[in-house]
């Protein structure tokens, strides 16, 4: 019985600390950021070309970073970048550690219940990397093991599209790709733009390909706290202006266009899509 | 002030509840396989380490030092990714067609924990004064019978508390298996968090399961110690 009491006390302690940690997040980021003179953005730091550490400058650069840079410039405050993972970015935002998420985050209704999204600033679709010539359609992946990274929406999409497949979620994409190279999985799946980035860096890329099989649309949005209406409106307005001035297109071409490893075509425009 | 509304229903019923239950099953399986395997292997290594045959002792020492002194996470990666480089293609193809993720995690947990268990068992046996063995031998018991009737019954009693520690560590360490895609409890709790953002509820549920598992192991070993090993003291 004594042990039980100890366990209960432990739980109570956890509860107290947990509740305390959930307490301090500003509801008006716009005013708060101007007052402090700094905007804190949660970004990926190992996912070229969205957010990764540049080998020469040792700084985080990428498509996502250029967007938050533009927003900070418009706000006339300094930008601070904090690396986040797919699993940590939402709690970091709601707990007030970061003010905005620019980390390849797909907009979906489940997430929209918890946080506020900007208009779509990047659009892609979920595809697969496989061994060359092995996969012509979804049928070829039935009953196979498919790798992806934890905390992403990719997993559920595969389960819906190919119910007979087994999904293995690794800690990060490089591990999932290693599993593909070793034949442990038949394919690695996630958004095409990320796959293109993995493939571009792969040492033996000639063996692999991204077949034209798409299982979902993935519109990326910048994430902000849900009750932060003024800041959300400000970000929306800023990125719409960036589209109009051509800056958004320029950023896309810089990271994905001709002359890059990705060679993607811009098939979307930033519009008021909410 | 952030408004966070608790919604415990997601972890007590429905789809996410099923995820957590399936994760719990795999955690239980991993723990059971690991505890039995690590105990048997640990006993074997302890005996080898105390053998009078030197090469056996050396092998046991090398095993102990290597597996006690490298991180478990690296050992899991070693068995899962590293084994690929040394095994022939046929074996790799066969392994990859099976549930190799679970097997690699179980092997890593078993071997890692067995090194600690071996030392616990060995120190238990060494704690029995040598005179007892000598007395038993001069009373006419053979070496094996002396071990069976005099030394081991006392040694096992001493070994139980540290063994419980190792079993508890193993049950909790099993959460590292999620790094290679084994869908155990912590993995499922994280999945529930990514889909619902109710991480607080999901991890509380997982915590409760781990607590119940650990407390059950401890209670079982307590009872075993009282009823089976020390029936006269209770």
For residue A137, count other CB atoms closer than 10 A to its CB.
10
In a domain, A8, yes or no: no
Are A135 and A207 members of one domain?
Answer: yes
Structure tokens that stand for B114 in this block: 């067995």
For residue A155, pLDDT over 90 is answered with no
In a domain, A224, yes or no: yes
For residue A18, pLDDT over 90 is answered with no
Residue B179 to residue A94, Cβ atoms within 8 A: no
| CA neighbours closer than 13 Å in the CB half-sphere of residue B228 | 10
Percentage of chain B modeled with pLDDT above 70: 97
pLDDT category, B90, cuts 50, 70, 90?
confident
Residue A170 to residue B181, Cβ atoms within 8 A: yes
In a domain, A45, yes or no: yes
Are A199 and A70 members of one domain?
Answer: no
Structure tokens that stand for B21 in this block: 């239950």
Residue B207 to residue A11, Cβ atoms within 8 A: yes
Q: pLDDT at position B136, please?
A: 94
Q: pLDDT at position A239, please?
A: 96
Q: Could you read off the pLDDT of B187-226 as tens digits, one per residue?
A: 999 888 877 778 889 999 999 999 999 999 999 988 888 8
B141 class by beta-carbon count within 10 Å (0-12 exposed, 13-18 middle, 19+ buried): middle
Greater pLDDT, B199 or B79: B79
Percentage of chain B modeled with pLDDT above 90: 64
Query: Which chain B residue lies closest to A105 (C-alpha atoms)?
Result: B194
pLDDT average, residue stretch A227-238: 95
Of the candidates B188, B130, B182, B157, the one whose C-alpha atom is nearest the C-alpha of residue A179 is B182
Residue B215 to residue A170, Cβ atoms within 8 A: no
pLDDT category, A21, cuts 50, 70, 90?
very low
Are A57 and A183 members of one domain?
Answer: no
For residue B3, pLDDT over 80 is answered with no
List A residues 138-157 in contact with B (Cβ-Cβ < 8 A). Answer: 145, 147, 150-153, 155-156
B26-227 CATH pick, 1.10.3720.10, 3.40.50.720, 3.30.565.10, 3.20.20.70: 1.10.3720.10
Cα B123 to Cα A148, A153, B65, B116: the distances in Å are 45, 50, 16, 11
Structure tokens that stand for B136 in this block: 């038993």
Residue A96 to residue B181, Cβ atoms within 8 A: no
Interface mutation vs chain B, best among A11, A150, A185, A187, most B CBs within 10 Å: A150
Looking at residue A164, the DSSP 8-state letter turns out to be T
Of the candidates A37, A43, A70, A32, the one whose C-alpha atom is nearest the C-alpha of residue A240 is A70
CA–CA gap between residue A115 and residue A90 (Å, rounded): 8
Are A209 and A133 members of one domain?
Answer: yes
pLDDT category, A9, cuts 50, 70, 90?
low
Residue B96 to residue A168, Cβ atoms within 8 A: no
pLDDT category, B5, cuts 50, 70, 90?
confident
pLDDT average, residue stretch A111-119: 93
Are A166 and A193 members of one domain?
Answer: yes
CA–CA gap between residue A82 and residue A96 (Å, rounded): 12
State chain B's mean pLDDT as an integer.
90
In a domain, A143, yes or no: yes
Are A186 and A223 members of one domain?
Answer: no
* Prediction pTM value: 0.70
**How many domains does chain A divide into?**
2
pLDDT average, residue stretch A101-118: 92
Are A97 and A231 members of one domain?
Answer: yes
CA–CA gap between residue A226 and residue A32 (Å, rounded): 16
B-chain residues near A114 (CB < 8 A)? 197
A-chain residues near B81 (CB < 8 A)? 175, 178-179, 182
Q: Are A231 and A201 in contact (CB under 8 A)?
A: no
Residue B194 to residue A182, Cβ atoms within 8 A: no
Q: pLDDT at position B176, please?
A: 95
CA–CA gap between residue B174 and residue B170 (Å, rounded): 6
What's the complex ipTM?
0.72
Q: Could you read off the pLDDT of A185-214 as tens digits, one per residue?
A: 999 999 888 898 888 888 888 899 999 889
Q: How many CB pairs under 8 A join A and B?
A: 84
Say whether residue B53 is in contact with chain A using an 8 A CB cutoff: no
Q: Across the interface, which of A10, A91, A113 has its CB nearest the CB of B199? A: A91
Greater pLDDT, B76 or A23: B76
CA–CA gap between residue A179 and residue A192 (Å, rounded): 18
Cα B198 to Cα A2, A98, A113: the distances in Å are 31, 19, 11
Structure tokens that stand for B68 in this block: 């006690």
Cα A9 to Cα A19, B11, B182: the distances in Å are 15, 22, 32
Are A213 and A88 members of one domain?
Answer: no
- For chain B, give every domain's residue range: 26-227
Q: Distance (Å) from the C-alpha of residue B212 to the closest C-alpha of chain A?
A: 10
List A residues 163-222 in contact with B (Cβ-Cβ < 8 A). Answer: 168-171, 175, 178-179, 182-184
Of the candidates B46, B70, B41, B68, the one whose C-alpha atom is nearest the C-alpha of residue B57 is B46
Buried b (16+ CB within 10 A) or exposed e, A14-38: eeeeeeeebeebbbebbebbeeeee
Are A230 and A110 members of one domain?
Answer: yes
Q: pLDDT at position B1, please?
A: 45
For residue A5, pLDDT over 70 is answered with no
Of the candidates B22, B23, B25, B15, the one whose C-alpha atom is nearest the C-alpha of residue B195 is B15
Q: What is the CATH number of the domain that holds A239?
A: 3.40.190.10
Backbone angles phi, psi at B111, to 5 degrees: -70, -45
| DSSP alpha helix (H) spans, B127-184 | 130-138, 143-146, 152-173
Residue B181 to residue A156, Cβ atoms within 8 A: no
Structure tokens that stand for B209 in this block: 């399961």
Q: Could you read off the pLDDT of B159-175 as tens digits, one per residue?
A: 988 999 999 999 999 99
A-chain residues near B199 (CB < 8 A)? 91
Are A240 and A192 members of one domain?
Answer: no
Determine the structural domain holding residue A249 and report its residue range. 26-123+219-256
In a domain, A3, yes or no: no
Angle of CA points A116, A118, A121, to nearest 5°: 145
Are A226 and A209 members of one domain?
Answer: no
Are A182 and A238 members of one domain?
Answer: no
Q: Distance (Å) from the C-alpha of residue A152 to the closest C-alpha of chain B?
A: 7
């Amino acid at each position: 019985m004594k042990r039980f009491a100890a366990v209960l006390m432990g739980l109570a302690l956890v509860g107290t600390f947990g509740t305390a940690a959930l307490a301090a997040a500003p509801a008006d980021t716009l005013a708060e950021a101007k007052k402090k003179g700094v905007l804190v953005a949660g970004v990926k730091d190992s996912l070229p070309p969205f957010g990764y550490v540049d080998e020469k400058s040792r700084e985080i650069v990428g498509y996502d970073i250029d967007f938050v840079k533009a927003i900070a410039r418009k706000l006339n405050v300094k930008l601070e970048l904090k690396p986040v993972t797919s699993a940590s970015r939402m709690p970091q935002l709601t707990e007030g550690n970061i003010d905005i998420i620019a980390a390849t985050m797909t907009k979906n209704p489940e997430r929209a219940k918890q946080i506020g999204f900007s208009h779509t600033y990047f659009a892609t679709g979920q595809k697969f990397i496989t061994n060359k010539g092995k996969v012509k359609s979804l049928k070829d992946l039935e009953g196979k093991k498919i790798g992806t990274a934890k905390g992403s929406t990719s997993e559920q999409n595969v389960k819906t599209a190919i119910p007979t497949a087994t999904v293995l979620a690794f800690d990060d994409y490089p591990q999932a790709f290693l599993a593909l190279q070793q034949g442990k999985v038949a394919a690695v799946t996630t958004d095409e733009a990320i796959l293109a980035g993995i493939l571009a860096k792969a040492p033996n890329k000639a063996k692999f390909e991204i077949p034209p099989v798409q299982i979902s649309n993935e519109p990326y949005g910048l994430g902000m706290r849900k009750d932060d209406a003024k800041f959300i409106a400000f970000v929306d307005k800023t990125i719409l202006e960036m589209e109009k001035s051509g800056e958004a297109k320029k950023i896309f071409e810089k990271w994905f266009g001709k002359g890059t490893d990705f060679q993607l075509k811009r098939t979307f425009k930033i519009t008021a899509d909410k | 002030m952030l408004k966070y509304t608790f919604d415990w229903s997601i972890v007590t019923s429905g789809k996410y509840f099923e995820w957590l239950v399936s994760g719990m099953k795999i955690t239980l399986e991993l723990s059971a396989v690991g505890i039995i395997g690590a105990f048997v292997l640990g006993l074997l290594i302890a005996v080898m380490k105390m053998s009078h045959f030197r090469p056996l002792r050396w092998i046991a020492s090398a095993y102990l030092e290597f597996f006690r002194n490298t991180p478990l996470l690296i050992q899991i990666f070693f068995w899962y990714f590293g084994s690929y480089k040394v095994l022939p293609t046929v074996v790799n193809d066969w392994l990859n067609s099976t549930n190799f993720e679970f097997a690699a995690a179980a092997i890593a947990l078993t071997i890692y924990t067995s090194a600690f268990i071996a030392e616990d068992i060995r120190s238990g046996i060494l704690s029995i004064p040598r005179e007892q063995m000598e007395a038993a031998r001069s009373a006419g018991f053979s070496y094996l019978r002396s071990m069976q009737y005099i030394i081991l019954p006392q040694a096992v009693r001493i070994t139980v508390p540290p063994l419980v520690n190792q079993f508890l560590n193993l049950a909790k360490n099993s959460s590292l298996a999620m790094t290679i895609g084994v869908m155990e409890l912590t993995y499922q709790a994280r999945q529930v968090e990514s889909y619902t953002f109710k991480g607080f509820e999901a991890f509380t549920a997982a915590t409760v399961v781990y607590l119940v598992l650990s407390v059950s192991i401890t209670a079982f070993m307590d009872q075993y110690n009282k009823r089976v090993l020390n029936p006269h003291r209770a």
